[in-house]
């Protein structure tokens, strides 16, 4: 792909990766074999571009335009390579990203990035970030209690638990929390999870071997009246394993887009 004015192009094949046609490094050494989500050589080059554009904008006395990014990924690469490159672009402030998996350059996909907030850690309001934070704290507390065989009862922790419970009740009321996980077990399976009860710990899991059955279930979810007012009714999280080939993702994302979903991506270790 050739970069247009005001955009950057990242191309990743099984051997090497490049930025605007200039090879930066080796795919295996810099991406596959590193545990970090941030790909440092790529991020360094991206920041150089951002700095040059900021300087030019300052000279002209104009705001810095949003830089668009396009990403091409070889379909035979593992998903963790794609995920790390996308994460590096996101960390770098690129929110407008189009990507191509394989060779279908005529129909690029738009990447739906999670909403960027000035401070997602603020303890006010109900957001998916705060909901997940409260869920994780709850799990860690329960695990700690099982490990040490005693209740954690300090006033500070108990006060936090009460607030987290109140938050989680509101989270369950507002969000369906829909996700689709692709599992590469012996038979290969698809797991749809959602909170259709509107209750804390009301998350249910449905496992299918056939993708057509997944789409039938998704269609049913879209038609349910009780789920129509959920704030995230048009959002789904797609989860793949680290080493799953990225071509598994393509048809799934295309189908979900046809349903009208924004697709957020996540990764499952293992």
Mean pLDDT, rounded, for 144-156: 70
Would you place residue 141 in the very low, low, confident or very high pLDDT band (cuts 50, 70, 90)?
Answer: confident
Mean pLDDT, rounded, for 157-167: 87
Q: Is the pLDDT of residue 134 over 50?
A: yes
Q: CATH 3.30.420: does it fit domain 7-110? A: yes
Mean pLDDT, rounded, for 161-182: 94
Of 141 and 184, the one with more pLDDT = 184
| pLDDT of res. 218 | 97
pLDDT digits (tens, 9 = 90+) for 105-114: 888 999 987 7
Q: Is the pLDDT of residue 145 over 60?
A: yes
Average pLDDT of the chain, as a whole number: 87
Please give the share of the chain, as a percent, with pLDDT higher than 90: 61
| pLDDT of res. 1 | 62
Which range has the worst mean pLDDT, 6-10, 32-36, 80-84? 6-10
| pLDDT of res. 68 | 81
| pLDDT of res. 20 | 92
| pLDDT of res. 119 | 46
| pLDDT of res. 7 | 74
Q: Is the pLDDT of residue 27 over 80?
A: yes
SS3 sequence of the chain:
CCCCCCEEEEEECCCEEEECCEEEEEHHHHHHCCCCCCCHHHHHHHHHHHHHHHHHHHHHCCCCCCCEEEEEECCCCEHHHHHHHHHHHHHCCCCCEEEEECCCCCCCEECCCCCCCCCCCCCCCCCHHHHHHHHHHHHHHHHHHHHHCCCCCCHHHHHHHHHHHHHHHHHHHHCCCCEEEEECCCCCEEEEEEECCCCCCCEEEEEECCHHHHHHHHHHHHHCHHHCCCCCCCEEEEEEECCCECHHHHHHHHHHHHHCCEEEEEEECC
| pLDDT of res. 204 | 96
- Averaging pLDDT over each range in 136-140, 245-249, 265-269, which range is the top one? 245-249
Which range has the worst mean pLDDT, 67-81, 148-162, 196-210, 212-226? 148-162
Q: Is the pLDDT of residue 121 over 50?
A: no
Going from N- to C-terminal start, the domains of the chain cover 7-110, 128-174, 179-268
| pLDDT of res. 236 | 96
Beta strand 189-195 with 7-12 is: unpaired
Mean pLDDT, rounded, for 119-127: 63
Q: Is the pLDDT of residue 13 over 90?
A: yes
Would you place residue 120 in the very low, low, confident or very high pLDDT band (cuts 50, 70, 90)?
Answer: very low
CA–CA separation, 268 vs 142, rounded Å? 22
Of 125 and 170, the one with more pLDDT = 170
Of 24 and 155, the one with more pLDDT = 24
């Amino acid at each position: 792909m050739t970069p247009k004015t005001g955009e950057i192009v990242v191309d990743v094949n099984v051997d090497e990766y490049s930025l605007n046609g200039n090879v930066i490094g080796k795919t295996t050494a810099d991406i596959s074999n590193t545990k970090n989500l941030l790909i440092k050589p790529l991020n360094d080059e991206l920041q150089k571009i951002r700095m040059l554009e900021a300087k030019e904008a300052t000279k002209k006395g104009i705001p810095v335009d949003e830089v668009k990014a396009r990403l091409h990924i070889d379909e035979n690469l593992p998903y963790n390579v794609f995920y790390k490159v996308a994460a590096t672009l996101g960390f770098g402030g690129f929110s407008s990203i189009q990507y191509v998996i394989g060779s279908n350059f005529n129909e690029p996909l738009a990447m739906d990035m999670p909403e960027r907030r000035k401070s997602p850690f603020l303890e006010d309001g109900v957001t998916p970030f705060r909901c997940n934070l409260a869920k994780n704290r709850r799990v860690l507390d329960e695990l700690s209690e099982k490990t040490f065989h005693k209740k954690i009862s300090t006033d500070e922790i108990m006060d936090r638990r009460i607030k987290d419970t109140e938050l989680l009740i509101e989270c369950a009321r507002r969000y369906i929390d829909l996700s689709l996980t692709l599992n590469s077990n012996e038979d290969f399976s698809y797991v749809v999870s959602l909170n259709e009860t509107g209750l804390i710990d009301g998350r249910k899991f449905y496992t299918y071997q056939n993708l057509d059955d997944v789409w039938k279930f998704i269609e049913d979810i879209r038609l349910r009246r009780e789920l129509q007012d959920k704030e995230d009714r048009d959002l789904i999280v797609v989860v793949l394993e680290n080493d799953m080939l990225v071509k598994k993702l393509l048809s799934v994302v295309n189908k979900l887009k046809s349903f009208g979903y924004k697709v957020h991506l996540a990764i499952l270790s293992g």
